[in-house]
Amino acid sequence: MTVVDLPLARSSERTRTTAWWGVAMVILTEGTVFAILLAAYFFLRAASKDWPPPGVKLPDLKTAVPASFLLWGSSLPIFAVEAAARRGRWGVVRAGLLVSWLMGATFVASTLKDFQALHFGWRDNAYGSIFYTIVGLHAMHLVVGLTMSLVVQAKSWLGRYSPARHASLEVFSLYWHFVDLVWLAVFPSLFLSVRWR
Amino acid sequence: MTVTERPADPLEPAPPELAGDDLRELWEDAPGLVGFFTTVDHKRIGIRYIYTAFVFFSLAGVSALAMRAQLASPNSGLISPGTYNGLMTMHGTTMIFLFNTPVLAGFGNFLLPLMLGARDMAFPRLNAFSYWVFLFGGMFMYSSFVVGHLPDGGWFGYVPLTSSTYSPGHNIDVWGLGIIFVGLSTTVGAINFIVSTFKLRAPGMTVNRLPVFVWSMLVFSFMVLFAVPAVTLAEVLLELDRLAGTAFFVPSLGGNVLLYQHLFWFWGHPEVYILFVPSIGMVSTIIPVMSRRRIAGYLWVVASLVAIGFISFGVWVHHMFATGLPPLAISLFSAVSLVIALPSGVQFFAWIATMWRGKVELAVPMLFCLGFLLIFLLGGITGVMVAVMPFDWQVHDSYFVVAHFHYVLNGAVVFPIFAAIWFWFPKMTGRALPERWGKVSFWVMFIGFNITFFPMHILGFLGMPRRVYTYNDGLGWNGLNVIVSVGSAIFGLGTLFTLAAVLIAARRKVPVPDDPWAADTLEWATTSPPPVYNFAAIPFVEGRHPLWDVERLRRARPGAEADVGLEVDGAVGRSTPVTSGIDTLPEGVLHIPAETWVPFLVALGLVTLLVAALVSALTVAVLGLGLAVGAATTWAWRTEADLR
Amino acid sequence: MSAALLGSTSVFQGAGSEGRRIVGLWWLMFAMGAAVYVVVAGLVLTAVVRGRRRARPAADSPTADDRFIWIGGLAVPVVILAVLAVVTVTTTSNLRPVRAGELAIEVTGRRWWWDIRYPDQGIRTANELHVPVGRPLDLVLTSADVVHSFWVPALAGKVDMVTGQVNHLRVTVDRPGTYRGECAEFCGLEHARMQMLVIADPPDVFERWMARVRSGAGTTPEDEMAARGALVFQREPCGGCHTVEGTPAKGTRGPELTYFGGRRTIAAATIPNDPKELAAWIRDPQDVKRGAEMPPNGMSAEDLDALVAYLESMR
Ligand code: HEA
Ligand code: HEA
Ligand code: CUA
Ligand SMILES: [Cu+2]
């Protein structure tokens, strides 16, 4: 007997595509990027006498807080979308993606508006530099996520998905959750922790 | 080369209806130049990585020889100070970024799917992309030679020296952006290695049966994912300071120059182990084969690989002992740096134990491994010495450290790479290398190496700092510097013998059997060179040493459930089996995309963007960006089809 | 340059409280390291020789392998490393202690020379560090531009001079002598030419030097030549960058030149200080030191001779 007949893997073991694993690894390294940036933020802060430097007015919370909740909330429709896609309910998928996209886009718009209202620039001091860099990088990730969402939405309208195969949708969902989670670390560090001292 | 009695074809031949031609037709690249630019074949890409990296090795090596010519006599005016600093920077940068990392990625690329019993990597197009990014990144950095303004901030480019105040030219931007670019290539490659190892193992290759080399590439890849962000950020923040006027490293504006050093070394230290870990994998593959027995303490070796991966993230501050950090904090890093000697010790004794009870054959790859052992031992011991903080205060940034890191980088990484060349060349090409040339090459390199780098320890004690383009007469350094310079030429000559051997093999075309070393891993189960599709039939793995554990490898075939589209043979399409993570049973197939221009175009677009941004050519930048985004969108759009 | 003008660069001199201890530490580590090398390399070679003689591999013995690995690769190294760790901690805790009666000296790294001040005595000099033997020193190190590193191998380990940060090196010099200091952190074009002399004298000699420098004696030109040189110095742009006490020259971009004649070297220990070399330096600094941040000067030969005489007369 030189040929071995093999059983298939148990179905519980076959849920993730290579694409999903690939994006999971991207997230690992991207997560490290944000972790290191936040570490740099606290490093600079620990090495400075005053933080933020005297005369710098802290970013406003009035719009930032509701906008943040909007962003975190935008993950919820995605959970529904994932479940619906596995059941082939494409109407729910399309609606959920659209709602989530709008929530995310609103957040990005409000961030950009907040940037304009800030009383400090990125060249003024290290505080400004690291603030803009972290928030800006996160916003860039959101823009990438929103673009991905558009591609995924187009695919869902064009009927390129099936309940068994919708890797790009899975991948997008994972990425979107990640970007939300990052804000969960960034927001308290940059906006709240400076106020508690 | 030794030939053994093993059957010529250890793998059960494919059923006639699937044999050769059909598969070849499905898998073969387009002929000629088109195929060259569009291929996604991991073997072609891997070999390409290797020879490209060696081109960079020669450039960096010749830079080193030029530096040594300058340092051969005191107050020499052979090379101007500016040029020396440029050569020194490009030597270090090239060796680390453009030679060592890519050459290891090249071996990984060539070997990993073969060792896993797969037909390609998990993301073949990404693989091609990472090669092109590496090539363009390297060319981008070397464009500074053409312009005649070399980056000259040293391979770690400390601020404020590299800030726009002290280095106003574009040379530093070329360096910083180049590093960011090449880092992208490494990261993408690492993701590919990880997912391939997770999902593409041949049925039966459970975790405890993974070849050590595969383990080492896995550790390498995870280290890359966690370390590279730090250097990318260091250079991004540097470039933001330089180009956008931010204040990260400007003390007068609340910035901090040590932040850069922390970021750099948080990558820099893991990086040296990132280079070392695949070398361990190579040595751990070659020594057992050349000792005709399985590796002693497989679990010990694997556990130490993983341990090195973890511990190496906790020692970066040992490069900053002299920066005036509080002694208590740094003595902790001193202690962890001592601890990291333990996994290396375990591996070292595993290799000795393997030879101890084995039948040792001193073929060329084994000679290089022995050279590695004797050199790495010394480099490791001096590493432990510099980990002792007060001692490091003396020898830090002196030639003692230059000696330490060449014993490890050049000795413990380059020697295994040469061993790997001699070991796997027959597999890559199907041709034999002339053994005699290899022996000469080894001995000349080994002797030249020690003549070059041993006296550097003494120079360090005599107070010679590193990165000096010249030194005063009468300090007692002249004689040793002459010896070092002569040695470097001898070492360089030794490498030429291997180059000559490769050229001779290319001309003489002496064929080799498929498995000339009677080795144990799956890459030897196919022909030399392997067919484009690697394996006609997917092997079934029944032990840690597939070709030693059973008389004849068996073929895996999906069970009764083949109707779900599982085509392990893959003859009906370009595909390779996907297996489950734990018990490695088949769960489906992965479609391997056909050759495509997309990766090349995305990389080309990105590098165009980079160059254009640097010289502020806006239209060209937009064109580059458009090309990259356009090609990437095509790529994303086609994903679903490929998964079907 | 002659040996006296170069100064010793050898770590083995151990002429300072810290350097001496580190030499001791080195010999201990050397003995341990050599023993490890000999034993382990011996095992490698024995394994190869044994393995070559065999016709076929010996029978597998995983337990023997494992025992060999954990004893050789883990247990014995743990013991050796534990010893090293203890030695590290004890040595470190004995180094760089704060002591009573320290002499504070501020050394600031500049591209590519050393600015030296004795804050309590109110004097400034450059490129030649005078220290008393036997008295604890507190070297206060920082940088005015990029990162440099203060290293006098004969006396102590190095301490970086970090931009925006002040570091301390506390050390006592044990033996009188001339020691060479070197910049040990890459600082750009002339990093190689950023060196200095440390002149360690017995306390009385040091006090005499200090007293003279504080008094300002000997800096007013005495002969005609020097007097003319002083005028040249004032006329040329020198004073914009250099300071000479008691004159309008108050620049700080370049090294202090009061008592320059007493220094042994020029341009951060690059060339010996004699009239010929000095003239060449003033004429064309970049010919001596490519990156030197001092402009060349095309004054007449007579003026140059006078200027040299003036500078050399201040000692
Ligand atoms: C492949 C690369 C590589 C490897 C493997 C190592 C291995 C080690 N390195 Fe090295 N290192 C570099 C590459 C590498 N290094 C580079 C490039 C630099 C300089 C960067 C720059 O400044 O440009 C550097 C610099 C460097 C420094 C900073 C020096 C300075 O700048 O002042 C330190 C300090 O702790 C250090 C420590 C160590 C230690 C403890 C090990 C250990 O891992 C070694 C462990 C191995 C052994 C000890 C041998 C085998 C063990 C046994 C046989 C057991 C018995 C042994 C004992 C009990 C001792 N290294
Ligand atoms: C993998 C890493 C690697 C490798 C292999 C080497 C290889 C060599 N290195 Fe390098 N080196 C570094 C990594 C490496 N180096 C790093 C990271 C630095 C720090 C840089 C910094 O401080 O910023 C450094 C710094 C460094 C210095 C210190 C410079 C200074 O501080 O001023 C010196 C000085 O001698 C040196 C010498 C050499 C020599 C002679 C070789 C030789 O082994 C090279 C031999 C190779 C060849 C010669 C090429 C092949 C031959 C040919 C193409 C044919 C031509 C040959 C002949 C005509 C004989 N290196
Ligand atoms: Cu100053 Cu090097
Ligand atoms: Cu390190």
The answer, for A165 touching chain B at a CB cutoff of 8 Å, is yes
The answer, for A20 touching chain B at a CB cutoff of 8 Å, is no
Q: Is the pLDDT of residue B16 over 60?
A: no
The larger pLDDT score, comparing residue B471 to residue B589, is at B471
Burial of B560 (0-12, 13-18, 19+ CB in 10 A): exposed
Percent of chain B scored above 70 by pLDDT? 93
Nearest to B640 among A2, A132, A168 (CB): A168
Q: Is the pLDDT of residue B11 over 60?
A: no
Residue B240: the pLDDT is 94
Residue A99: the pLDDT is 96
The larger pLDDT score, comparing residue B362 to residue B539, is at B362
Residue A34: the pLDDT is 97
Exposed e or buried b for every residue in B485-519, given b needs 16+ CB within 10 A? bebbbbbbebbebbeebbeebeeeeeebbbbbbbb
| Distance from residue B340's CA to the centre of ligand 3 (Å) | 31
Query: Whose alpha carbon is nearest atom 60 of ligand 1?
Result: B383
Q: Is the pLDDT of residue B9 over 50?
A: no
Mean pLDDT in order along chain C per 10 residues (315 residues)? 82 93 95 97 96 88 91 95 93 88 96 95 95 96 96 96 95 95 96 96 96 89 92 94 93 94 94 95 95 94 95 92
Give the DSSP H or E segment for B22: helix B20-27
Residues 6+ apart with CB under 8 A from B141: B90, B93, B94, B97, B98, B151, B174, B175, B178, B182
- Cβ-defined contact of A125 to B253 (cutoff 8 Å): yes
Q: Is the pLDDT of residue B148 over 90?
A: no
| Distance from residue A125's CA to the centre of ligand 1 (Å) | 38
Nearest to B353 among C52, C57, C68 (CB): C68
The larger pLDDT score, comparing residue A13 to residue C88, is at C88
User: Region B599-615: what's the mean pLDDT?
Assistant: 90
**What's the gap in Å between the CA of B324 and the closest CA on chain C?**
6
- Rounded to two decimals, what is the model's pTM? 0.95
Mean pLDDT of chain A: 89
Residue B643: the pLDDT is 46
Residue B220: the pLDDT is 97
Residue C33: the pLDDT is 96
In the structure, what pLDDT confidence band is assigned to residue B74 with cuts at 50, 70 and 90?
A: very high
Task: Render pLDDT for B20-70 as a digit per residue (tens, 0 to 9).
Answer: 567 777 788 888 888 899 999 999 999 999 999 999 999 999 999 999 999
**Cβ–Cβ < 8 Å for B98, B63:** no
- Give the Cα separation of B245 and B252 in Å (integer): 13
- Give the Cα separation of B348 and C69 in Å (integer): 8
Handedness of CA A132, A138, A142, A147 (dihedral sign): positive
- Give the Cα separation of A53 and B340 in Å (integer): 41
Strands B554-558 and A3-6: parallel
Taking alpha carbons only, the member of B345, B350, B409 closest to residue B375 is B409
**What's the gap in Å between the CA of A62 and the closest CA on chain B?**
27
User: Which of left, alpha, beta for A65 (phi over 0: left; psi -120 to 50: alpha)?
Assistant: alpha
Which of B191, B218, B549, B555 should be substituted to probe chain A, the one whose Cβ sees the most A Cβ atoms within 10 Å?
B191
In the structure, what pLDDT confidence band is assigned to residue B631 with cuts at 50, 70 and 90?
A: confident
Residues 6+ apart with CB under 8 A from C16: C152, C154, C155, C156, C171, C172, C173, C174
User: Region B408-433: what's the mean pLDDT?
Assistant: 95
Exposed e or buried b for every residue in A42-57, given b needs 16+ CB within 10 A? ebbbebbeebbbeebe
Query: Whose alpha carbon is nearest atom 1 of ligand 3?
Result: C148
| Distance from residue C10's CA to the centre of ligand 3 (Å) | 19
Which numbered atom of ligand 2 lies nearest the CA of B469? 32
- Give, to the nearest 10 degrees, the angle between helix A90-117 and helix A75-87: 160
**What's the gap in Å between the CA of B166 and the closest CA on chain A?**
18
End-to-end CA, chain B: 45
Task: Render pLDDT for B530-561 as a digit per residue (tens, 0 to 9).
Answer: 988 888 778 888 889 988 887 777 777 655 44
Q: Which tokens in the block code for residue B515? A: 């498995």
- Give the Cα separation of C60 and B619 in Å (integer): 68
| Distance from residue B276's CA to the centre of ligand 4 (Å) | 12
Lowest mean pLDDT among B204-218, B447-461, B576-590, C229-243: B576-590
Size of interface A-B (CB pairs under 8 A): 178
**Which chain C residue has the Cα nearest residue B390?**
C92
Residue B499: the pLDDT is 95
* Residues in chain B closer than 8 A to A129 (CB atoms): 237, 240-241, 246-248, 255
**Cβ–Cβ < 8 Å for B316, B266:** yes
Lowest mean pLDDT among B372-381, B386-395, B571-580, B591-600: B571-580
Size of interface B-C (CB pairs under 8 A): 283
Lowest mean pLDDT among A55-69, A167-181, C181-195: A55-69
* Residues in chain B closer than 8 A to A53 (CB atoms): 254
| Distance from residue B182's CA to the centre of ligand 4 (Å) | 21
Residue whose entry in the numeric block shows the structure tokens 């201040």:
C314
Q: Is the pLDDT of residue B418 over 70?
A: yes
Which of A6, A43, A45, A172 should be substituted to probe chain B, the one whose Cβ sees the most B Cβ atoms within 10 Å?
A6
In the structure, what pLDDT confidence band is assigned to residue B572 with cuts at 50, 70 and 90?
A: low
- Give the Cα separation of A106 and A91 in Å (integer): 23
Residue C94: the pLDDT is 87
Please choose from B156, B402, B468 the residue to mutate so as to test ligand 2's pocket, defined by most ligand atoms within 8 A of CB.
B402
Mean pLDDT of chain B: 90
Task: List, as one string, the DSSP characters of C58-74.
Answer: PPP-HHHHHHHHHIIII
Please choose from B93, B404, B409, B417 the residue to mutate so as to test ligand 1's pocket, defined by most ligand atoms within 8 A of CB.
B404
- Cβ-defined contact of A32 to B229 (cutoff 8 Å): yes
**What's the gap in Å between the CA of C177 and the closest CA on chain B?**
16
**Cβ–Cβ < 8 Å for C222, C313:** yes
